[in-house]
Amino acid sequence: MVPPAEEHLASALRRARRVGGNAKLRNEAARARNRAARQMDELTRAISAPLGAIARGFPTPARLHPFEAALLELTIGAANYERRLARVDALRRSAVEVRPGAACGLHALQPYPMDALR
């Protein structure tokens, strides 16, 4: 059974909230940046992994039994079925693409511009 979108997102947010920062970092700002980067990484992982499992769990219309293929055609249509699976896969890929950029961007952030400190 596929969970509703709200439940899927709530589960991913709960998992990301539990991630802590690196305790070895002495600087509070560096620790906060590290924690934010790790939370973003965990959030995207918690979103993309179940979506991949969902997309792999549904067979292509060509692999269906003839009765199931006819039932699929009568209910939602094979083209609509494939289009929805492609949208789920595209959402998963977009979450995977965000991961490296978001984590690198958070490490590069500075709390204040250097000119403002002078």
**pLDDT over 60 (residue 43):** yes
Q: How confident is the model at residue 97 (pLDDT cuts 50, 70, 90)?
A: confident
Asked whether the whole model's pTM tops 0.85, one would answer: no
In whole angstroms, how far apart are CA 88 and each of 28, 31, 42, 70? Answer: 38, 34, 19, 23
> Measured between alpha carbons, how far is 115 from 106 in angstroms, rounded to an integer?
20
Give pLDDT, residue 117.
41
Exposure string of 57-82, with b = 16+ CB inside 10 Å and e = fewer, is eeeebeebeeeeeeebeeeeeeeebe
Which pLDDT tens digit goes with each residue over 5-36? Answer: 899 899 999 999 998 878 788 888 888 888 88
CA angle 87, 48, 56 (to 5 degrees): 60
